[in-house]
Structure 1
Amino acid sequence: MAKPELKSSSSLIMPGDATTACWSCGDMRASHFCSACGKVQPPVPVDYFSFFGFPRKLNVDTGLLEREFYELSRKLHPDLYARAESREQEWSMEQSSLLNDAYRTLKDPIKRTEYLLRLEGVELEEQSKAATEKARATGEVKKQVVPPDLLEEVFELNMQLEELRMQKKAGENDPMLIQEIGKQKMSLEAKYEALLNELRGYWDQWDKLVDSGAEEDRRKVRDKMLDLLNRRNYVRNLVRDVTEALESST
């Protein structure tokens, strides 16, 4: 059975956009269960926010999210439908799968932001289809563009890492070089956290604009969040590369 997917497109059904009769009793169904007869309902193509009945905002009440998750997990557990009709068994498994995916995404603030941006029609640089297809065609590793404000620092760091690799091949060890690269790593880690703090500020701006903002203002905030996430991911990858280089040198 193919795994159902919550699509991120204009075809998604938003809360209140449509009413559907329960397949069992014909009453107007709720999102996951019929409020009249209690029967589990087939999944509908909603986004992760709508699945939990949340607006598309980035400041999520994680306590409420967790409570909703465990409540739905209990009600949708496939074991409860072991003696039900086969379609009810299938729907409970599909709903449970969607529930788990939605919860994993929304409980993580970065995944939540990335997901919302995809709903808005934009993708992170390292996730873009064009970059993926190019890497697949050439056999190369997909690379991100160096953020302009990091060009000089990245150039110097790459030279130091290359020198470290050459020393390792030659069986040499330069404690001063290792110490300097370690300092660079600490600087990058500080930038990584600073970018997260900057991103948080735009979450508040976005949430306010969801209710009353003009499309142009929303676009500006969306583009800024995209830029911050791309930069943060680039710094994250740099920290990973530096960590691996330092570990291999010892």
Structure 2
Amino acid sequence: MQTAEHQSVSTACWSCGAPLAGARAFCDACGKVQPPSPDADYFTVFGLPRRLAIDTAALERVFYRLSRKLHPDVYARASANEQQWSLDQTSLLNDAWRTLKNPVSRTEYLLRVEGVQVESERAEDGKAKESRVPADLLEEVFELNMQLEEMRMNRKMGDDDPALRADLEKAKTQFEAQLAAVDADLQSLWSAWDAALDNHAPAAETKPVKDSMVALLDRRRYLRNLVRDVNDALGN
């Protein structure tokens, strides 16, 4: 895996004094576990540049290799500091793995470390946060909300309306197709971002890419909410 030069931070190993490049969990010279670097982000944990196209199979191999090296049994006879650092590094590694293995959470995270405010699809209560209705969906959403309310009332009364159910299934299929289109557009932007990173593009050139990713993530979150609401109303 490749390490981004612009993210390298020179520090020294607490044990042997050898220089450390980036946010490494271990000293290359003596192999001692290191305290987590305050400059660490989830990409540097894996020795990666801030790219959005990631080989997740390679990411998984590194995750398990580091997990084995950080296992508490390895530090059973180590100093209290080393035991704590191994736990801290494990927590950081797990968070990084959960975030980077998923392309959407990876995109959200990259935008945040790049200083862009973006809501996560995974809210603390486990539900996606509400988003503003995209202008092109206003009419569809208005009609959908009426159908959803009617379906909820039918379910309360123990009634079933096959035509209404069919309409909701059709709407769900359409929203899922729009979700797929959003994901395809996001993939194009990932390529644009990675190309800009490789070419060391200035911030002025990457801002439109970041803005477009934010807009697509907002749309994606809203569409996911719609699909969830339809599934709930249908009892799926």
TM-score of the aligned structures, taking structure 2 as reference length: 0.88
Paired AA for residue 193 in structure 1: A
Task: Please report how far the alpha carbon of residue 126 of structure 1 lies from its aligned counterpart in structure 2 after TM superposition.
Answer: 6.1
Task: Please report how far the alpha carbon of residue 185 of structure 1 lies from its aligned counterpart in structure 2 after TM superposition.
Answer: 0.8
3-state SS of paired residue (2:182): helix
Q: CA RMSD in A?
A: 2.2
1:172 to 1:16, Cα distance in 2 relative to 1, 3 A: closer
User: Which of 184, 188, 207 is residue 197 of structure 1 equivalent to?
Assistant: 184
Structure 1 residue 223 corresponds to structure 2 residue 211: yes
Task: Please report how far the alpha carbon of residue 224 of structure 1 lies from its aligned counterpart in structure 2 after TM superposition.
Answer: 0.4
1:63 to 1:143, Cα distance in 2 relative to 1, 3 A: closer
Name the residue aligned to 1:39.
32
Distance 1:35 1:165 in 2: 61
Structure 1 residue 184 corresponds to structure 2 residue 171: yes
Structure 1 residue 245 corresponds to structure 2 residue 233: yes
Task: Please report how far the alpha carbon of residue 66 of structure 1 lies from its aligned counterpart in structure 2 after TM superposition.
Answer: 1.4
Name the residue aligned to 2:222.
234
1:50 to 1:125, Cα distance in 2 relative to 1, 3 A: closer
3-state SS of paired residue (2:29): coil
Distance 2:93 2:74 in 1: 16
1:168 to 1:36, Cα distance in 2 relative to 1, 3 A: closer
- The structure 1 segments of at least 4 consecutive aligned residues displaced by more than 4 Å after TM superposition are none
3-state SS of paired residue (2:235): helix
1:80 to 1:161, Cα distance in 2 relative to 1, 3 A: same
Give the percent of matched residue pairs that are identical in Structure 1 and Structure 2: 56
Task: Please report how far the alpha carbon of residue 200 of structure 1 lies from its aligned counterpart in structure 2 after TM superposition.
Answer: 0.4
How many correspondences in the alignment? 224
Deviations 1:118-162 (A, max 9, x none): 1122233467xxxx9xxxxxxxx9632101111111111001111
Distance 1:34 1:125 in 2: 36
Distance 1:126 1:71 in 2: 29
Check conservation: 2:176, 2:227, Cα contact below 8 A: yes
Check conservation: 1:58, 1:203, Cα contact below 8 A: yes
Name the residue aligned to 2:202.
214
Structure 1 residue 29 corresponds to structure 2 residue 29: no
Paired AA for residue 97 in structure 1: S
Name the residue aligned to 1:75.
69
User: Which of 45, 54, 61 is residue 51 of structure 1 equivalent to?
Assistant: 45
Name the residue aligned to 2:132.
145
Check conservation: 1:125, 1:144, Cα contact below 8 A: no
Task: Please report how far the alpha carbon of residue 207 of structure 1 lies from its aligned counterpart in structure 2 after TM superposition.
Answer: 0.5
Task: Please report how far the alpha carbon of residue 36 of structure 1 lies from its aligned counterpart in structure 2 after TM superposition.
Answer: 2.1
Deviations 1:177-208 (A, max 9, x none): 11111111111111111111111010000001
